[in-house]
Structures are given as structure tokens and as C-alpha cells.
Chains A and B, each alone.
Chain A
């Protein structure tokens, strides 16, 4: 178990979003957290990435409490790509990706050949080498997202937490980003935890799905085990048919409509 949440209570100020949740992430898997808006999935991801301190319970990284490991050491093991990250105006792609080397640098080692190599290979992997000197604001949404993923890659961690890496992207770019994630996982054996909204893509690209509602894990397991018609009703209040994805063989959700008894009466 690489990463583990044990009885975590998470929230902002007085308001608890997650009240006592357990979750384990196996090494070398792609885990995707799904759930309706506001169910606490991003909050959970932030806690797993030590960006949010639990008000109760603990998060364990390789068996050690993550808040007891120096944050810089954590940053060499675990990379987090927050939701909708912001960069200073005018920053170039190369500068952004170079920022990922931060945990490996010291005041007298600003730019070693390791740093240079890691940045170059991260740019290559995401197909951005040609755009390296372009300002980030001039890129398309998909390119920008790839640049952020490059930064996380340059960090050189084998654990990656990605919070909605496909938001604001069209379908082609979503697939492109998720193929990249799969490639990273298969080629380098990285452990990935993602939050995704698109259930069909989640089913296709995850080894394991975790379905959340109101701060609780409702179901966890393979996409076939989790994505059932009953679960969609229970978690999303959605009436849907689940058929087999003709391409990948994973479950494919075909929505029918909001769960009948909770649907608003037609005006």
C-alpha cells in the first residue's frame, strides 16, 4: 500500500466535507475517484497529497505519516497536479516545467544536468519540446494541460495525483491526456490517482474506481464491479443503462435521465 487514508476527517474551517474515510492506494495502479459535484473527491485528493491537513485521522505514505515527512522529501516521491492551477503571466513552457525540479534543487544547485535532462524528457514525453520557449498563455487548453503534466513529470515522482486533469478539454484532448497517463503508468510503473468527471473515460483508463458521495466511499473496485446501474442511481441519482464499451470492453454508461422519483415535475 503506497498511500493510505485512515479515518480522515477533512474540511475547511468548521465545515466537515469528509468525516472518517478509509482508502488505500496499491502500488502500480491507476485509481480514479468519481462522484457528484461537492462529494469531497478533490478534498480527499488534496489530503492524500498533504495539501490539506486532516482534522482527524491520518494519511500514510509508504507506511509513514505524511505530515511527519519533510514536505520536500514528500515532493520527491509524490507529485500533485491541483485543479485549475495558475501560473504567473508570461511564463514560458520551459520555465513552468523547470519549476517541477524545485524539490531537487538547493541554493547552490539551481540547475544541474539532472534537472536539464528531466525537463527535456518531460517535454518530450508530452510532445511539447517544440513549444518549450512559448509563453503558457499562448497555448491551447490541451497544450497547457500537457505543460502542467510535464511539470509534474519533471518532478520525477513515481506517485502522481491528478485533480481533474481533463477539465476544460474537448474529447480528443481528454483522450490524449488520459493516453499519456496510461503510457506513464505502463511504461514507468507509476502509481496514479485521478479525479475524473467523465465516467466512461474513468472506466476505460482506471484499474480501480472509487465512487464517493457526501464524503463517503460508496464502492471501490474494478470498473466492472463499481459502475453498475444500481450504483449510478445511488451515487449520482441517475437512471442509466450500463453496456459494454465496444472498443475497450469496459462498462459504458448511457444515461436515461435523473432518477425518476427525484426528478422535478415538468413545468
Chain B
């Protein structure tokens, strides 16, 4: 039996033991990766150093752990989870394993506003320090992401929302945004565009608590809301008449879930830039690990956190002292996976 029922009083839930096992395993792996990323880096530490650095404010390791490595690792895990959850929702709604927040215009929209902001303001926003840099870029990214999503949604809406139409419109809008972004990069100052490029690639460099807190708060609000919508999401994978017959208000359910996906992706992009492939591949990996018919939400989030943490660990340490943007590593890992997926679906 692939499903167990958990019943307490008048309440009941379905539990898939396999999904539970995958999620728990993922959390263990995530914990190991976090511990590892506390130890590794330009300054290598023993586990004892890490523990001392975490709890003892006078320890020499304290600054490195609490101000550099821990917030960065947490941002990575949270952003990965948010992107993966967003991807799982969008893939379910579009009934398409190749759908991701990019097709909703979120990441491409955010790239346009951030690049525009960096180019227009010169070094004011682009620098790695200062209040404007830490608040300005996330705010611009959030704004751009929401505008991008609104454009795609507005164009895709025609007496209701059709998953296929959404994907096609999304690809078109993404192409337009991407070209505006490139145009801005060509007219901008070389130094500014260089900084913008790092952001566009998706980077966790220099992420601090000011990135952890908003992302964590957004997840605390959005994840439970998303999980409440799980049943609607399961239903939305059926034909529209079938689900309408079951008493689901299809357009309302779809709009709410898309809104959740947009917010998750926008918050993640605001913190770390458009990290490639996490939203696309995590739900598909979770789907295969759990052998379920649709991307499992919580499991996808765990996989996304693991994937992003692992990628950032590689990005940070593999070519030390040079640090790669994490998005480069996820793209290098994700692209072959995408090809594999397309190749498999052709068979």
C-alpha cells in the first residue's frame, strides 16, 4: 500500500511513507551539508572550532561562522526550498515538467529591473556594501518579479487560464525580457554590468542575516498556505471539466496557487538572484524519488534546499580562493539533467 491514513479525532491525513522517508533523508543530508559548509572554505575548521564559533562569541571563529558562513548557507537552503516549491506548483498547474518560475516572468522580470537599476544608478546600487545595495537590489528584484508575473498572467488569461497557453506566453515574455536585459547590459558602464552579471547568474556571495530573515519570514507564511492548497493542486492536474464537477473553483484555485508560486520565486530571486534550474529540476527529482504522479510539494522543497546547498558548497570551495556564483554550478549540474529529461520524455 503506497498510502497510509493518519486519523486523529475528526481529522485525517494521507501519508505516503515513501515521500516521508525521502523528505527525512533529505533533511539529514541537508544537515550534513550545512555542517560541512561551516567547516570548509578559505579557513578550514574542525567540528570543534565550528561548535565553539557558533556558541562562543569570543572564539576567533565566531565572525566567520555567524556572520559569513551560517547566514550564507541558510540563505542558500531557504532560497533553494522556495524556488523548488514554486517550481513544483507551476509544473503541477501547467501539467508540464519543463515549466518553472522563468516561464511565469518572475526571474526574467527581476533581472530586467535589477540590471536597469544597477545601470541607471552606477555604483550606488551595484556595490557589495551599503544600505542601498542590501535593500535596493532585493526591492528591485521583488518589484520586477511581480511585474513580470503580472504581464505573463495578463496576457495568458482568456476567459480562464489554460496551462499550455500560460507556458507559451511565458516563453515569449521571457524572451522579450531577456533581450531588454541584454540591451541594458550593452548600454551600461562596464563596471556596472560586471556587477549586474554576478547578480544575474544567481549568487550567494556575501549573503548575510539581512537576506536570511526576509526569506525565512516569507517561507513561514507561504509554505503553510501552499500546503493548504495541496488538495486543489492535486485536483488541478485533471481536465477542467473533471475538477469543476468535483466542486473546485478552478480559476480561483489556480490563481491563488500561481500567486503563491510567484511570491516564493520573487522572494528567492530577491535574495540570491535568478539561480538557474533549481525550480525546474528539484520537483522532477522529488517526483522520481517518491515515485508519485505529481511533484510532491514538501519533498520538492527539501530537494531544492539540498541541491542549492550542495551547489553553493561546490561554488565556494572547488576553485578556492575564486568563488563562483552558485547559479553557474546549478546550471552546469542542471543542464545535463534537463537534456536527460527531454530525452526520456521523447521515448
Residues of B with C-beta under 8 A to A89? 293
B10, CB-defined interface residue at 8 Å? yes
A103, CB-defined interface residue at 8 Å? yes
Cα–Cα, bound, A75→B249 (Å): 11
Q: Is the CB of A51 within 8 A of B241?
A: yes
A133, CB-defined interface residue at 8 Å? yes
Residues of B with C-beta under 8 A to A75? 245-247
Count residues of chain A with CB under 8 A from any CB of chain B: 41
Q: Which of B1-34 contact A (CB under 8 A)?
A: 1-3, 5, 7, 10-14
- Tell me the nearest residue of chain B to A135, going by C-beta: B293
Given known contacts A72-B247, A88-B293, A103-B247, A111 and B13 CB-to-CB distance under 8 angstroms = yes
B179, CB-defined interface residue at 8 Å? no
Residues of A with C-beta under 8 A to B159? 13
A30-57 interface code vs B (CB 8 A; 1 in, 0 out)? 0000000000000000100111000000
Residues of A with C-beta under 8 A to B247? 70-76, 102-103
A51 contacts which of B12, B14, B245 (Cβ < 8 Å)? B245
Q: Which of A109-154 contact B (CB under 8 A)?
A: 109-113, 115-116, 133
Q: Which of B301-319 contact A (CB under 8 A)?
A: none
B230-243 interface code vs A (CB 8 A; 1 in, 0 out)? 01001101110110
B12 contacts which of A100, A109, A133 (Cβ < 8 Å)? A109
Q: Is the CB of A102 within 8 A of B239?
A: no
- Tell me the nearest residue of chain A to B6, going by C-beta: A111
B235 contacts which of A74, A102, A109 (Cβ < 8 Å)? A102
A87, CB-defined interface residue at 8 Å? yes
B242 contacts which of A13, A82, A92, A113 (Cβ < 8 Å)? A82
Q: Is the CB of A82 within 8 A of B241?
A: yes
Given known contacts A49-B245, A155-B246, A110 and B12 CB-to-CB distance under 8 angstroms = yes
Separation in Å of the A181 CB from the closest CB of chain B?
A: 17
A105, CB-defined interface residue at 8 Å? yes
Cα–Cα, bound, A202→B11 (Å): 44
B86, CB-defined interface residue at 8 Å? no
B45, CB-defined interface residue at 8 Å? no
A75-89 interface code vs B (CB 8 A; 1 in, 0 out)? 110011110011111
B245-257 interface code vs A (CB 8 A; 1 in, 0 out)? 1111100000000
B57, CB-defined interface residue at 8 Å? no
B11 contacts which of A51, A70, A108 (Cβ < 8 Å)? A108
In the complex, 23 of the A-B residue pairs with CB atoms within 8 angstroms, ordered by the A residue number, are A51-B241, A70-B247, A71-B248, A71-B249, A76-B247, A79-B245, A80-B241, A82-B245, A86-B239, A86-B242, A87-B237, A87-B242, A92-B293, A99-B235, A99-B246, A100-B246, A102-B248, A107-B228, A108-B11, A109-B12, A111-B5, A113-B7, A155-B246
| Chain B residues in the interface with A (C-beta under 8 A) | 1-3, 5, 7, 10-14, 95, 159, 228, 231, 234-235, 237-239, 241-242, 244-249, 292-294
| Chain A residues in the interface with B (C-beta under 8 A) | 13, 46, 49-51, 70-76, 79-82, 85-92, 95, 99-100, 102-103, 105, 107-113, 115-116, 133, 155
Per CB-CB distance, the 6 closest pairs between chain A and chain B, nearest first, are: A75-B247, A82-B241, A72-B247, A80-B245, A103-B247, A88-B237
